[in-house]
Amino acid sequence: MRPFTYERATSPADASAKAASIPGARFIAGGTNLLDLMKLQIETPAHLIDVNGLGLDKIEETPDGGLRVGALVRNTDLAADMRVRRHYAVLSRALVAGASGQLRNVATTAGNLLQRTRCPYFYDPNQPCNKRQPGSGCSAIGGVSRQLGVVGTSEACIATHPSDMAVAMRVLDATVETVRPGGATRAIPIAELHRLPGDTPHVETSLERGELITAVTLPKPVGGAQLYHKVRDRASYAFALVSVAAIVQPDGTGRVALGGVAPKPWRVEAAEAHMKQGAKAVTAGLLADARPTDDNRFKVRLAERTLAAVLAEARG
């Protein structure tokens, strides 16, 4: 691990301003992803800004009946909150499906959204990776790609986003609140937070330099049966091959988002118009632009079957 300097931020605006003004600065909270990457020298921050003391660890009700989840709320606490379990069950289920109990006790809401891909080529400094070193190439293309993306990918990168929580947030239409270096705040729809790779896979979000996530707001509950199914190579502590977050209403309408198939939580609202027609019709819309490799072509069919199981459970 390379040497770095460290300080504790005194306010969100202070943290944002310092991150923007100090070259190589990074925020740290739980550190469950960042510290691993630092040990491998994939991330080499010159300065760490600890944001744990900023009081962003509350879950509060909003005037319109939703919830405002602080950026530092731990995954365990969010999953266990009775308001989340009662009104946003898809989120609670997705959180419990992720990582391990020990990691969920430390991992934060903002950190979960911003965790980096688990593509094996990204984690291997001996292999070219455009996400790790822009312009070096993508070893996954033409390599072992079973775990990687089938839709939303590009000629520069086929990595997937690893978060379970983010998939549930996407189906719930959450909004990400931030503070910028100058102190101004903004609200980013979850659909616009993560970027597709295009020619710049190393630019993973729409956040500006130094911009700090302060909260995630969940809108007023929409009801319905809320489910999260995750298909993986082992029963726990594994990233999704395919995951499905769904909200199904009594009349058969609903929402669907996929994980494990794209560089961001994958939702195509137009496909949801076919919910009453069944999983095959919805999946055809969700993955209409899929470009799978020979290794991961099975994910298209797996997504359809997983969605079919979700719909069957939702309809009893």
Whether residue 197 is contained in a domain is answered as: no
CATH number for the domain spanning 35: value is: 3.30.43.10
Q: At residue 1, does pLDDT exceed 80?
A: no
pLDDT score recorded for residue 63? 98
How many domains does the chain fold into?
2
Q: At residue 305, does pLDDT exceed 80?
A: yes
Whether residue 303 is contained in a domain is answered as: yes
78-112, pLDDT tens digit by residue? 999 999 999 999 999 999 999 999 999 999 999 99
What is the average per-residue pLDDT within 248-263?
A: 98
Q: Residue holding tokens 């740290």?
A: 28
Whether residue 268 is contained in a domain is answered as: yes
Whether residue 87 is contained in a domain is answered as: no
Chain Cα centroid distance, residue 303: 18
CATH number for the domain spanning 258: value is: 3.30.390.50
Q: Mean pLDDT in the chain? A: 97
pLDDT score recorded for residue 316? 86
Whether residue 48 is contained in a domain is answered as: yes
Distance between CA atoms of residues 297 and 277, nearest Å = 24
- Asked whether 253 and 275 are in contact (CB, 8 A), the reply is yes
pLDDT score recorded for residue 82? 98
168-213, pLDDT tens digit by residue? 999 999 999 999 999 999 999 999 999 999 999 999 999 999 999 9
Q: At residue 165, does pLDDT exceed 80?
A: yes
- In the chain, what percentage of residues exceed pLDDT 90? 98
Whether residue 22 is contained in a domain is answered as: yes
- Give the residue from 32, 107, 73 showing the smallest Cα distance to 177: 73
pLDDT score recorded for residue 8? 98
User: Whole-prediction pTM value?
Assistant: 0.97
Q: Which domain holds residue 265?
A: 225-314
- Give the residue from 276, 282, 278 showing the smallest Cα distance to 300: 282
Q: Residue holding tokens 């005194």?
A: 10
Distance between CA atoms of residues 31 and 75, nearest Å = 13
pLDDT score recorded for residue 90? 98
